[in-house]
Amino acid sequence: MRKNLCRSWILFLLLAAASAEAQGPQTLDSALQLYSRGRQYQASGPENEAQKAFSSSLAIVEALLAADSGRKDIVYLKCWNLFRLGRHKEVVIAAEKALARFKDFRVDETLAESLWFLKRDEEALRYFASYVEMAPQSDERYSSAYYYIGECYMRLKKYEHADIAFSTALSIEKSMYYWWYRLGAVKELLAQYKRAYEFYGMALKLKPGFAAAVDGRARVKAKAGL
């Protein structure tokens, strides 16, 4: 009798799971799971599966927002799904609409990154400044925000500012080879050739054979007196 009940319960659970899969999950948790799956696919491929996961997550988020448009966590996830789909103009629209109603440092940061991708650097810097002012330093995007601040200043040719921003990013997260390369690049532009050589070398320690860093180190070696 007990075995039959167990089998019936397992069958019920399997049927319920299949039904939920067929109907599609409509909770924030399922949207987050799909977003996380998309990030995993981005890290290991294939990219088309990542895009499918972000699109599915976004569809759930849109449905949730139709019922409750004021939830910050849902708005934030919408912005990040749009961001991962490369729909930066839509990120700007959604984020600016949200920030007109409430403050959220996460939305500030996502908006700032999309503005950078749209080459609207002055605007991006304003939102990065707002993010840095409000966000705890433990936030997962804190180091990335400083990296993008550095990139904004590089495009604006404010190299001393870029130097400070890249250095701050790397004081928080030291394992990003490309950030070391960019710090080397700005040191080269500032004619600090020994430091440039050092930082190109740091990039190569993390990613041996990285061509841009190899070329950079070759350029500054003689100028650094090495």
Q: Which two tokens stand for residue 3?
A: 């075995």
DSSP structure string for 114-170: HHHHTT-HHHHHHHHHHHHHHS-TTSTTHHHHHHHHHHHHHHTT-HHHHHHHHHHHH
Q: Which two tokens stand for residue 164?
A: 């400070």
pLDDT at 25: 52
Give the mean pLDDT of the chain: 90
Res. 18: pLDDT tops 70: no
* Mean pLDDT value of segment 55-66: 95
Residue type, 82: L
Three-class SS state of 45:
coil
Give the single-character DSSP code of 100.
T
Give the global pTM.
0.85
Q: Provide the angle, in degrees to the nearest 10, between the axes of the packed helices 142-155 and 121-134.
A: 150
How many other C-beta atoms lie within 10 A of the C-beta of residue 106? 21
Residue type, 134: M
Domain boundaries, the chain: 25-86
Taking only the tens place, the pLDDT of each residue in 63-73 is: 999 988 778 88
**Radius of gyration, alpha carbons of the chain:** 23
* Mean pLDDT value of segment 189-205: 98
